[in-house]
Structure 1
């Protein structure tokens, strides 16, 4: 059965007096080896990002600052998540359509299981639904 998006927590140490360090060390629950790291910032309010799925790439999305509302669709289930602090990430499996809505000043960090390849992207929702329906059967 295909994977489902879910929230995961990262290890955090420190205090309000000196600040905090959040790390993927000890985050054994990241279900893949990280191949690429990228971040998105300065997204204007009202701009929707995402609107794609990846055929093979798995991701973990983290809101380093601000908040990010994420709508996911696996073809079987639609879910909504809100990322509001950097010690929590959203696991996004392959073949999961996402739509992202950033708050003002939000910065997103993304950890991925593959290097970038445009051929991995599905950018047409109807094509995604058709491919996802074949995975379910």
Structure 2
């Protein structure tokens, strides 16, 4: 199952009294080249993001500030991850539906993606996603 591939990854954290430092190196901390970086911020209270899956794209999600929940669903199982530390990254494999909610005030979500934006890579309708994952397509 795709959900079994999704996991929290501890990123390096260098503690210093002047402030902590965390770094990310592609193909070292996660298994793909970074093609796109984007971030979500100023999400209104009660709003949800995500609500889609990708056919091929790999993704890392990091809470740069504040907190939020990521619900992952491979069509057979659902799992909720509470993201609230900037030294944890959530790896999201292809063919996993994601919903993001419970944003705290001031939350910033950073996404590192393996692909450039391509609308044809998206599942926007949950029933279409379920049909393909459960039908083995």
**Count of residues in correspondence between the two structures:** 135
User: Who is 1:128 aligned against?
Assistant: 129
Aligned-partner Cα distance in 2 for 1:7–1:127: 27
User: Who is 1:50 aligned against?
Assistant: 50
Task: Classify the secondary structure of the residue corresponding to 1:130.
Answer: helix
Which 5+ residue runs of structure 2 have no aligned equivalent?
Answer: none
Aligned-partner Cα distance in 2 for 1:131–1:103: 34
Any residues of structure 2 matched to 1:1-137 within 5 Å, and which?
2=2, 4-15=5-16, 17-25=17-25, 28-101=28-101, 102-135=103-136
Task: Classify the secondary structure of the residue corresponding to 2:100.
Answer: strand
What RMSD, in angstroms, separates the aligned Cα atoms of the two structures?
A: 1.7
Q: If each structure's strand is expressed as a fraction of its own residues, which one has the higher value?
A: 1
Equivalent pair of 1:11/1:25 in contact (CA under 8 Å)? no
Task: Classify the secondary structure of the residue corresponding to 1:80.
Answer: strand
Aligned-partner Cα distance in 1 for 2:6–2:104: 21
Equivalent pair of 1:6/1:90 in contact (CA under 8 Å)? yes
Task: Classify the secondary structure of the residue corresponding to 1:62.
Answer: strand
1:14 CA drift (Å) = 3.0
1:75 CA drift (Å) = 1.4
Aligned-partner Cα distance in 1 for 2:115–2:65: 25
Spell out, residue by residue over 1:47-92, the C-alpha distance to the aligned partner (whole angstroms, 9 max, x if none).
Answer: 0100000111010000000111011101132111001110001100
Aligned-partner Cα distance in 1 for 2:9–2:46: 27
1:35 CA drift (Å) = 1.1
Task: Classify the secondary structure of the residue corresponding to 1:19.
Answer: coil
TM-score (norm: length of structure 2): 0.91
Equivalent pair of 1:4/1:74 in contact (CA under 8 Å)? no
